[in-house]
Structure 1
Amino acid sequence: MSQNNSFDVIIRCNGVATGKMRNETKIDIVEPFNESHELASDEGPFHGGDSTAPPPLTYFVGGFVTCLMTQIRAFAKRFRIKLDDLTVDAEFSWKGLIEPGKPYKAAPVGITMDIAIDSETPIEQLVDLIIAAKEGCFVEAIISDRIPVVHRLKTPTGWIDC
């Protein structure tokens, strides 16, 4: 941590169009560590592609869910909470708004994250863990002011909103 109790996260991406709808990217994490990855995306025939790679929204959804899961596991260690198992079932919803003669517009509807944690930890502490994890999720920080994100913890007696 720096003297002002913060740290930088910087990721750069270079994308190149290589097919009908295929894109290839090189993604470089430059802060707080150095790491590179290559990802490709493509659309299916619905959108004029060849389905040679997952569509871009697949990466977004997977990135969001795995970011939250990573934060739950990382913060569980800090809170000294033992997790025996963790699963997240998420649903992301959008509407495509169509105006005659114009391209459609994407409109987010909402995101639901159903979280199941197998742990001997009291429910109240698990709720606190989820709240901390969602506040520490960099993906969620970008969109949660604009799109409703619901986090629910599965308990023996039903779901609890977090």
Structure 2
Amino acid sequence: MSSPTSQVPIVSKVMERTDPEEHGASLKPVQKREVVLRLEAESLDNMRKQATVRVDQPKGSTFQIICDEGPYLGGDDSAPPPLAYYSASIAFCLLTQLSRYASIKKLNIHSMKLSQETRFAMEGSVVKGTLAGRGVEVVTNLDIESDESEETIRQMIEVGKNSCFIHQSIMNPVPSRIEATVNGDPLLSID
């Protein structure tokens, strides 16, 4: 018998939103744009979390995403863990940029596949307040079938890596802060 959580879709579209004026804008040869996403998340039962993600700029749809943890963290393994989404987002973003480049340059690419290993580490003590997690390494292997020259493919990969927001966020960390309220009262900002 299936549990109630197994009947909830892991990813679902909540609202469709698009602007025909923006269609194909990212396929133009010269770009100056900013992508803005807004997200609200909450803890559910056990280790499950739910996020509602809206693409504000360019106008995009809103999706609801569920994540869980495996039994090693007390979860039910009912959905991918947060680090799986993070790892997939690295791969998806790079493939998007490579596909975009190939489309703009009208390259003859038969297929692009990617395999990736993403490593993380954690050390310290929850009890002592010294627990700290960190990214260790991301290794991406691309398998490209194409009639294009090695130099053309090398250029495509370089532009793809440089224009991939997530790769760039890893290589050049972005500022991050946490602002919190406790019982409705603001807590100092945590950088």
Summarize the alignment of residues 12-23 of structure 1 with structure 2, pairs less than 5 Å apart.
12-23=38-49
C-alpha distance after superposition, 1:80-137 (max 9, x if no partner): 2111011111111122223484463212211111111100000011000000011111
Residue type matched to 1:115 in 2? L
2:171 to 144, 147, 153: 144
Residue type matched to 1:68 in 2? L
Question: CA shift at 1:141, angstroms?
Answer: 1.8
Q: Which residue of 1 aligns with 2:155?
A: 128
Aligned residues: 143
What is the RMSD computed on CA atoms of the aligned residues? 1.7
- Percent identity between matched residues is 24
C-alpha distance after superposition, 1:1-52 (max 9, x if no partner): 7xxx521210001101111111011100010122111100111121121212
TM-score normalised by L of structure 1: 0.82
* Greater than 6 Å deviation, 4+ residue runs: none
Q: Flag structure 2 segments of 5+ consecutive residues without an equivalent.
A: 1-24, 26-30, 174-191
2:112 to 77, 82, 86: 86
Distance in 1 separating the partners of 2:142 and 2:46: 38
Q: Rg larger in 1 or in 2? A: 2
1:104 to 131, 135, 143: 131
1:70 to 90, 96, 99: 96
TM-score normalised by L of structure 2: 0.70
Q: Flag structure 1 segments of 5+ consecutive residues without an equivalent.
A: 147-162
